[in-house]
Amino acid sequence: MTGWLAIAGLGPGDAALITPEVSAALSEATDVVGYAPYVARVGAREGLTLHPSDNGMELKRACDALKLAAEGRKVVVVSSRDPGVFAMAAAVFEALEASRKWQDVAIRVLPGVTAMLAAAARTGAPLGHDFCAINLSDNLKPWPVIEKRLRLAADADFAIALYNPRSTSRADGFGRALDVLREAGCGGRIVIFAHAVTTAKERIETVSLKDARPEMADMATLVIIGNSATRRVGRFVYAPRRAS
Amino acid sequence: MTGWLAIAGLGPGDAALITPEVSAALSEATDVVGYAPYVARVGAREGLTLHPSDNGMELKRACDALKLAAEGRKVVVVSSRDPGVFAMAAAVFEALEASRKWQDVAIRVLPGVTAMLAAAARTGAPLGHDFCAINLSDNLKPWPVIEKRLRLAADADFAIALYNPRSTSRADGFGRALDVLREAGCGGRIVIFAHAVTTAKERIETVSLKDARPEMADMATLVIIGNSATRRVGRFVYAPRRAS
């Protein structure tokens, strides 16, 4: 038996957004590895071993998955959304680089619908013009780097997707991020708070940046800050394709 | 019969990357509207009318689709990749804003796997850290805006996904973009040229920015410029999660 490792994205929540490619990999797998809430989205079946783990265990999880694949297992590492955007794919390649003993493992990355695309779709087309994506967690990068990127993104007039805006252990950063953008002259921009999009708990709020409050976001929220031209039409929000 | 309009993304090419949500909408549709090569990806069947149109007809196509839906048809506007990223969704909302007579049409946007996610997955995890996406076409925005955004993106140390890098009518812009990034000190960065990803014509080249040449890209190419920390491990390219 020849093992392999697939790093797969389960999409934002709705099973109708899981690609057939990912479903096929899951149906062939012998082992599923991932953060417990994502592993729980994969149905148990005969011959499939589930390996749920805690948050913050990304490198350990990546090593475990590589080890299983090297032993001949067919392993799917699951991320929610897309595995390549602030998720498990980078962690697997870090583990691979740190210990070349797994360099012959067959690895594939299976893309998914990342949160900002799902949030954009539910609200209109706020990413229809140039944009950027910033992970607001400062667990792995210094906060001043985040502030610098926010200022430059405002200056570039990008729409800005903010991943992981706020958690119980990082309660203050998001409020500071909103302040940075207001100081950069973005107070009039439209902000979308997209909570748990495409799930039963979906809740979407759209406000002006000057009225945005930190507590509108949690870890299940994807925040999109429009560019200077982003506008409403009926219940939708979109970024015009044309810029001057 | 109550009409509706779904703006759907067919993904980058491989049918295994079309979401079940999009497949379901196509199976219920009476009409499919879009740029001819994308409409050709939808199979003909009894009861389905295909409406292919030329490139550059986005607003006309959006109006045609809204009109059909208002008449009670079940209409899917198809984009390749994701409809919300430099594609048809923004054009439909522009058409809706320009003529409010269609304001009661039921509109949904169905997300898809956008080209940069597919290109990233095929090469590793180059979008595993903060990044931006810039449409290099200057049909709808002045070229100096593009250059400014490239300089700010380099300064922010974003990975940079470039959509629509080069066409026969815009042969020079991409070369200038490469020059702007080299002048901004990015000559040592890794550049990925991902041509027709997930199709039979897929071709991927990875070079240093100082060695990148404009003719490596065409309109079917998605270009990703790594950030300053992006590195190779075996045949893969990834952006480490950690930044200093």
Q: Chain B residue closest to A7 (CA)?
A: B121
- For B104, what's the count of Cα atoms within 13 Å in the CB-facing half-sphere? 6
Mind telling me how many Å the CA of A121 is from chain B's nearest CA?
Answer: 5
The H or E element that residue A177 is part of is helix A173-183
In the structure encoding, which two tokens stand for residue A237, read together?
A: 């929000």
Provide, rounded to the nearest whole percent, the portion of chain B with pLDDT above 70: 100
Structure-token match 């953008």, residue found? A181
Residues of B with CB below 8 A from A11's CB? 19
What pLDDT digit, counting tens, does each position of A12-41 carry? 999 999 999 999 999 999 999 999 999 999
Residue A159 has pLDDT above 80, yes or no: yes
Judge whether residue B200 has pLDDT over 80. yes
Nearest to A241 among B103, B133, B140 (CB): B140
| C-alpha atoms less than 13 angstroms from C-alpha of A7 in its C-beta half-sphere | 31
Q: Which candidate from B85, B128, B238 shows the least CB-CB separation from A127?
A: B85
| HSE toward the beta carbon, residue A126, CA cutoff 13 A | 34
What are the tens digits of pLDDT across the range B68-88?
A: 999 999 999 999 999 999 999
Q: Strands A131-135 and B4-9: what pairing?
A: unpaired
The predicted structure's pLDDT at residue A132:
98
Nearest to A130 among B113, B134, B240 (CB): B134
For residue A1, the model assigns a pLDDT of 59
Residue A208's beta-bridge partner residues?
A190
Chain A CA closest to residue B135: A130
Kindly report which listed range (A38-42, A99-103, B24-28) carries the lowest average pLDDT score.
Answer: A99-103
Interface with chain A: mutation pick from B101, B109, B137, B232, highest number of A CBs within 10 Å:
B109
Q: What secondary structure letter does DSSP report for B210?
A: G
Q: Which residues pair with B223 in a beta bridge?
A: B162, B193
pLDDT for B1 equals 59
Task: State how far the Cα of A54 lies from the Cα of A225, in Å rounded to an integer.
Answer: 30
Question: ipTM for the complex?
Answer: 0.97
> What digits encode the pLDDT tens for the residues B109-125?
999 999 999 999 999 99
Interface test with A, best of B27, B132, B222 (most A CBs within 10 A): B132
Residue B90 pLDDT level (bands cut at 50, 70, 90) = very high
Distance between CA atoms of B18 and B34, rounded to whole angstroms? 16
Q: Mutation test of the interface with chain B: which of A85, A110, A132, choosing the one with the most B Cβ atoms within 10 A?
A: A132
pLDDT at A97: 96
Smallest CA-to-CA distance from A84 within A36, A135, A39 is with: A135
Residue A139 has a pLDDT of: 86
Q: How far apart are CA B131 and CA B123, in angstroms?
A: 16
Q: Tell me which amino acid residue A3 is.
A: G
For residue A143, pLDDT over 90 is answered with yes
Chain A residue with CA closest to B86: the answer is A128
Query: Mind listing the pLDDT tens digit for each residue in B136-148?
Result: 998 889 999 999 9
| pLDDT tens digits along A56-97 | 889 999 999 999 999 999 999 999 999 999 999 999 999 999
Confidence class for position A155, pLDDT limits 50, 70, 90? very high
Using DSSP bridges, classify how beta strands B106-110 and B4-9 pair: parallel, antiparallel or unpaired.
parallel
Other beta carbons within 10 angstroms of residue A76's beta carbon come to 28
Compute the distance between CA of residue B91 and CA of residue B108 in angstroms, rounded to an integer: 14
To the nearest whole Å, the CA of A127 is away from the closest chain B CA by 6
Q: Which residue of B has its CA nearest to A232?
A: B97
Q: What integer best gives the mean pLDDT of chain B? A: 96
What is the distance between the alpha carbons of residues A172 and B32, in angstroms, rounded to a whole number? 47
8 Å CB contact of A111 and B124: no
The percentage of chain A sitting over the pLDDT mark of 70, rounded to a whole number, equals 100
* Whole-prediction pTM: 0.97
